[in-house]
């Protein structure tokens, strides 16, 4: 819009949780500072990194750094509380924005009176498993059950209560589900985010999924309809895109093996969570039985 003969821009606050992100944080922040949209605030919420993340981020232009002991969902909510912008963009520290992401998000939100925007992601990494992940991600483009909004009106995030701090997996899906349940208007842009996997190994994927499995039941209980689709070991996206996957038989086979291993890791995480919950209860029963 025009103000006093000049174009006035509403501020977008970019919120980036970090933990030991020294390898990627500079690229991430540079991609924000290189946006074609001019009015930006960058908030880094660091969970006590020990690898120089804070020092690297602190040398970069326009960055506010907050320190916290809180986990990812709570860290994002802290960023929301400190945000000055009317719009919010949530990204991870291993992401790089293509130059027109923010402009496209703002323009589409304003033009179509939207509440949130989905931004397609491209996975980038080295090695066989990173290539499998990149192939998998292509099958998700345009699927609102798998992709989730990253750009929001701040007022909408506040009205929804922010991220569920009890979730360390599926917190972005959960917020998106609440958007849909509240009949909020969601769009998508063409500009993409590059998500860096690094030199990915199957061991890293197993660890990550096992950790996620420990909190995933909370998400499943809250969003059973979505979870039935999102946590299928063989997703419908693969069937819809079978012609595309057939062009890459080796990577497609690796992708299916990778998903099977991840699925088993999540199940072990769930079992660990259940065992940890049941053990104290059994101990109390045993103490009562002994006392009797």
pLDDT of residue 111: 95
pLDDT value, residue 162: 95
Between CA 132 and CA 234 the distance in angstroms is: 15
pLDDT of the residue at 14: 97
Q: Exposed, middle or buried, 46 (CB in 10 Å: 0-12/13-18/19+)? A: buried
For the chain, the residue count is 292
On the question of pLDDT at 4 being above 80, the answer is: no
Q: What is the pLDDT of residues 132-178, one digit of tens each?
A: 999 999 998 878 778 899 999 999 999 999 999 988 778 999 999 99
Which residue from 234, 237, 236, 241 is spatially nearest to 263, judged by alpha carbons?
Answer: 234
Cα-based torsion angle of the residue sequence 13, 38, 189, 198 in order, rounded to the nearest 10 degrees? -70
Containing 268, the helix (H) or strand (E) segment is helix 249-291
What global pTM score does this model have? 0.86
Distance CA(38)–CA(212), nearest Å, equals: 36
pLDDT band at residue 274 under the 50/70/90 scheme:
confident
**Domain boundaries along the sequence of the chain:** 2-291
- pLDDT for residue 278 is more than 50: yes
Of 165, 207, 174, residue with least CA distance to 72: 165
CATH for 2-291 is 3.90.550.10
CA distance 204 to 200: 7
Looking at residue 285, what is its pLDDT?
46
Please count the other Cβ atoms lying within 10 Å of the Cβ belonging to residue 217. 16
CB within 8 A of 248, min separation 6: which ones?
135
What pLDDT, on a 0 to 100 scale, did the predictor assign at position 275? 85
Q: Is 221 exposed, middle or buried (0-12, 13-18, 19+ CB in 10 A)?
A: exposed
| DSSP conformational letter for 11 | -
pLDDT score of 2 more than 50: no
Tell me 119's DSSP state.
-
For residue 143, the 8-state DSSP code is -
């Amino acid at each position: 819009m025009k103000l006093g003969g000049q174009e006035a821009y509403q501020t977008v606050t970019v919120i980036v949780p970090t933990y030991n992100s020294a390898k990627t944080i500079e690229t991430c922040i540079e991609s924000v500072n290189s946006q074609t949209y001019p009015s930006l605030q960058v908030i880094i919420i660091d969970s006590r990194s020990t690898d120089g993340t804070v020092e690297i981020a602190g040398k970069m232009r326009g960055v506010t750094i907050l320190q916290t002991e809180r986990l990812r969902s709570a860290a994002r909510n802290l960023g929301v509380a400190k945000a000055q912008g009317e719009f919010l963009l949530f990204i991870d520290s291993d992401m790089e924005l293509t130059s027109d992401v923010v402009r496209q998000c703002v323009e589409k939100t304003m033009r179509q009176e939207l509440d949130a925007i989905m931004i397609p992601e491209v996975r980038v990494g080295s090695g066989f498993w990173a290539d499998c992940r990149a192939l998998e991600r292509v099958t998700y483009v345009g699927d609102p059950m798998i992709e989730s909004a990253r750009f929001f009106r701040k007022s909408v995030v506040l009205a929804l209560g922010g991220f569920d701090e009890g979730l360390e997996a599926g917190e972005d899906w959960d917020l998106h589900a609440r958007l849909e349940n509240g009949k909020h208007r969601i769009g998508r842009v063409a500009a993409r985010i590059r998500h860096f996997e690094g030199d990915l190994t199957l061991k890293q994927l197993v660890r990550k999924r096992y950790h996620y499995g420990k909190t995933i039941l909370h998400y499943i209980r809250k969003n059973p309809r979505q979870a039935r689709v999102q946590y299928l070991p063989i997703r419908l996206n693969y069937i819809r895109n079978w012609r595309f996957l057939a062009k890459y038989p080796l990577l497609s086979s690796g992708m299916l093996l990778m998903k099977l291993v991840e699925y088993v890791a999540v199940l072990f995480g769930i079992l660990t969570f259940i065992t940890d919950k049941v053990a104290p209860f059994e101990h109390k029963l045993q103490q009562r039985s002994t006392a009797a």
